[in-house]
């Protein structure tokens, strides 16, 4: 008779939990996964996928305008927000089914309900006790929203994906990638958009040239960026919402979206009672193999607050399955993880920023280019692309690649391979570019920035 009901019990069917569970099952483990909300987690339901679909929708506004320069006459157009959300919901439902099939085909038992950790080898699912050799916490994260007078009138990104109609005026609070992306989405769909951030410039942690370039481009588009201020209060009026900022300014709006970050979703999982150590923000403290201080309890993905990115959670899940059930101890690789911000225009980055390189003791050479994309020579759009390379002067190794412009994520993905192969600037220079593309600029930059 087996000592435990399962070899692995996973809490959370997001990207990381699903990958860890199905790979563990493929290695012969008996696996169960519990989910209380929706299969696919944040990314599929209220994150990456629906966000990118809304970004696509917003870009059509530019495409219609730009068509005139290429001889097209575009007739009357109208944005049907309800239809967009309905189509988005249909696609998400399809993906939920795909995740259910993936798990089922792998032999993973899917359990719907709220799971809590009781002890090192026991989980309670809506009151029913289940035992497992290993427990994996992959519960993800949840949007944060501070409390202040009237804060109950603001929504988070979770609710933004299900608005029944588009607001005429929106205020977005926060300077991270979620806030920046929603600013582009709402503005592109015809909403008068204001973004408020308490810092002096948004996208903290990104290269300063990305931050400055994007702010400039967004302002050119007509997005009202207000830095070094925050919300003091929200008052509901007959016309909508009146927002008072900490600098005394007053703005009228119909919707207020809080995008001030996400916190690990761990507070109602019984982890502390089971002896699992958490950080102040609720993140599960784990070692390089994703193991907590309790030998049988592991954690991956957003709930560890290591790097809140879907592909990273998937990599952590793969490593965990190999470590526990394939006799191949693996550690996730966090070096040169490429990142894209689907803002308008897009941003892409991999490797060290210029500031990070200097702080790490490098003496970097900087190569930077600003140019108008070929597409806009006929469209007439006043949009500039920025590309930047950070190079170690002593070894010629490329330390970082940064871009603001169309398809930045698509371009940076390929450069991430080069950085992981320790490519040098000379090797970039020796690479023949594809002409005419924006991407070729990364292999034709020859002049160092003074």
Report the catalytic residues.
435
Span between the terminal Cα atoms of the chain, in Å: 72
Which residue's structure tokens are 């202040």? 148
Instruction: Judge residue 105's burial from the number of C-beta atoms within 10 Å of its C-beta, 0-12 exposed, 13-18 middle, 19 or more buried.
Output: exposed
CA–CA separation, 95 and 42 (whole Å): 12
Query: In this structure, what are the phi and psi dihedrals at residue 180, rounded to the nearest 5 degrees?
Result: -65, -40
Q: Alpha carbon of 206 to those of 145, 159, 230, 333, 406: distances in Å?
A: 23, 27, 21, 20, 18
Neighbours of 335 (CB within 10 A): 7
Cβ distance 295 to 134 under 8 Å?
no
Neighbours of 33 (CB within 10 A): 28
Instruction: Give the strand pairing for 122-125 and 128-137.
Output: antiparallel
**Which residue(s) pair with 400 in the sheet?**
351, 390
Of residues 145, 196, 156, the one with CA closest to residue 174: 196
Distance of CA 147 to the CA centre of its chain: 24
Q: Which residues of 35-65 are buried (b: 16+ CB within 10 A; e: fewer)?
A: bbbbbbbbbbbbbbbbbebbbebbbebbeee
Of residues 381, 379, 389, 385, the one with CA closest to residue 426: 389
CA–CA separation, 122 and 53 (whole Å): 40
CA–CA separation, 26 and 301 (whole Å): 21
Peptide bond between residue 209 and the one before it cis (omega within 30 degrees of 0)? no
């Amino acid at each position: 008779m087996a000592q435990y009901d399962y070899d692995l019990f996973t809490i959370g069917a997001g990207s990381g939990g699903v990958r860890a569970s199905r790979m563990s099952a493929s290695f012969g483990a008996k696996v169960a996964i519990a989910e209380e909300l929706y299969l696919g987690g944040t990314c599929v339901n209220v994150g990456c996928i629906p966000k990118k679909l809304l970004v696509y929708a917003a870009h059509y506004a530019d495409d219609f305008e730009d068509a005139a320069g290429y001889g097209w006459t575009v007739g009357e157009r109208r944005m049907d927000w309800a239809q967009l959300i309905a189509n988005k919901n249909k696609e998400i439902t399809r993906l939920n089914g795909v995740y259910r099939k993936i798990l089922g085909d792998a032999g993973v038992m899917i359990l719907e309900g709220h799971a809590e950790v009781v002890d090192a080898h026991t989980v309670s699912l809506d009151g029913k006790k289940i035992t497992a050799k290993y427990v994996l916490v992959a519960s993800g994260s949840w949007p944060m929203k501070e409390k202040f007078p009237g804060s109950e009138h603001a929504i988070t990104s979770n609710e933004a994906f299900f608005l029944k109609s588009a607001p005429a005026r929106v205020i977005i609070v926060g300077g991270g990638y979620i806030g920046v992306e929603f600013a582009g989405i709402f503005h592109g769909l015809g909403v008068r958009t204001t973004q408020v951030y308490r810092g002096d410039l948004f996208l903290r942690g990104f290269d300063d040239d990305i931050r400055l370039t994007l702010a400039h481009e967004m302002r050119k588009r007509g997005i009202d960026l207000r830095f070094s201020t925050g919300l003091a209060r929200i008052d509901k009026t007959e016309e909508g919402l009146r927002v008072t900022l900490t600098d005394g300014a007053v703005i009228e709006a119909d919707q207020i979206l809080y995008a001030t970050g996400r916190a690990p979703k761990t507070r109602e999982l019984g982890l502390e009672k089971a002896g699992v150590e958490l950080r102040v923000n609720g993140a599960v403290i784990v070692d390089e193999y994703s193991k907590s201080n309790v030998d049988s309890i592991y954690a991956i993905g957003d709930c560890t607050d290591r790097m809140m990115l879907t592909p990273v959670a998937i990599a952590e899940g793969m490593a965990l399955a190999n470590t526990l059930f394939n006799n191949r101890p693996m550690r996730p690789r966090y070096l040169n993880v490429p990142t894209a911000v689907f803002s308008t225009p897009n941003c892409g980055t991999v490797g060290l920023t210029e500031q990070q390189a200097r702080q790490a003791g490098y003496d970097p050479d900087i190569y930077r280019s600003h140019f108008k994309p070929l597409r806009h020579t006929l469209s007439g759009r006043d949009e500039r692309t920025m590309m930047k390379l950070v190079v170690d002067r002593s070894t010629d190794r490329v330390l970082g690649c940064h871009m603001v412009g169309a398809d930045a994520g698509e371009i940076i993905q390929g450069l991430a391979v080069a950085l992981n192969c320790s490519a040098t600037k000379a090797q970039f220079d020796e690479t023949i570019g594809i002409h005419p593309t924006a991407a070729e600029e990364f292999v034709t930059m020859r002049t160092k920035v003074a």
